[in-house]
Amino acid sequence: MQLGNFKVLTFDCYGTIIDWETGILRALDPLRARLPQRIADEAALETFARHESAQEAETPAMVYSDLLAVVHRRVASEWHVQASDAEHLAFGQSVGDWPAFPDAASALRYLKRHYKLVILSNVDRASFARSNRRLDVEFDAVYTAEDVGSYKPNPKNFIFMLEKLAAQGVRTQDILHTAQSLFHDHAPANQAGLVSAWIDRRHDQQGWGATMKPPGTPRYDFRFESMADMVRAHKEALTKG
C-alpha cells in the first residue's frame, strides 16, 4: 500500500492540523490561575476530554461553540472556580484563536497538488471558517458536526461523509483518512472500512491529552509524527516511482 494509491485525503482538523491542545490550555488559563495550586497541563486536558466527550454524547445536536461554553462551565464547577457567563461564552468562541501546527499550511498546500482535500470535523462551520484562515488552503469539501447532528466517534459522521463523497463519484477505497485522534477518528474509520494515516502529534508525550482513551486498539495503515513527515514520505514515494 502506497500513499499514491489514494485520490482523496479526508482530515480531522483539531489535533491534526490545528493545535487544539495549546489552544485549549491557553483558553483555560484564566480558570487555572484561580486555583490554589495550578493544575498540570495533562491533567487539565484530561478534565477537558472527559467533559467534552460527555457533553457531545448528551447533546449531539448542540453547536460546538455553545457546547464548549457548557464544557467550560462543567470544568469550572469540578475545579470549584467561579466564572461568569461571559467567560463560558468566551471559551466557546476561542476555537478560531487556536493556532495551526507550524507544518500544517505548507503541508496542505503541497498535498492539494496531489489529492482532493476534505475536512470531517467535530466543530461548527463558523468556528472552522475562522480556523481555516490560518491554513491558507481551499478544501474541496467540509463536513462538520453541525451538518451531521452528531459528534465523532459516532459512526453517523463517517457515514454522512462517505455518502456525500460517493455522490461525487468518490469510492471508499480511494480515500485515506488522516487524523491524530485514535478515539475520535481511527476507531470509527475502522468501522467504516477506511484506510487511515495516524498523525501521531503526541508521539513524545504520555497519555491521551484532550481525547478519551480509544476502545480496544484501533488500526491504522500509515503512521507519521507530523504532517511534514507525511509530505516527506509522499515525496520519497514519488521519486521511487
Q: Around Cβ 200, how many Cβ atoms within 10 Å?
A: 16
Q: Around Cβ 31, how many Cβ atoms within 10 Å?
A: 20
Q: Provide the residue type at 170 as one letter.
A: V
Task: Report how far residue 146's alpha carbon sits from residue 160's, in angstroms, rounded to the nearest whole number.
Answer: 12
Task: Report how far residue 73's alpha carbon sits from residue 87's, in angstroms, rounded to the nearest whole number.
Answer: 9
Q: Which of 12, 19, 124, 185 is catalytic?
A: 12
Q: Clarify whether 12 is annotated catalytic.
A: yes
Distances (CA, A) of 41 to 19, 22, 77, 92: 14, 9, 18, 19
SS3 category, 120: strand
Contact call for residues 72 and 51 (beta carbons, < 8 A): no
**Conformational region of residue 136, where left means phi above 0, alpha means psi within -120 to 50, and beta covers everything else:** left
Distances (CA, A) of 192 to 38, 134, 170: 41, 30, 15
| Residues annotated as catalytic (active site), given as ranges | 12
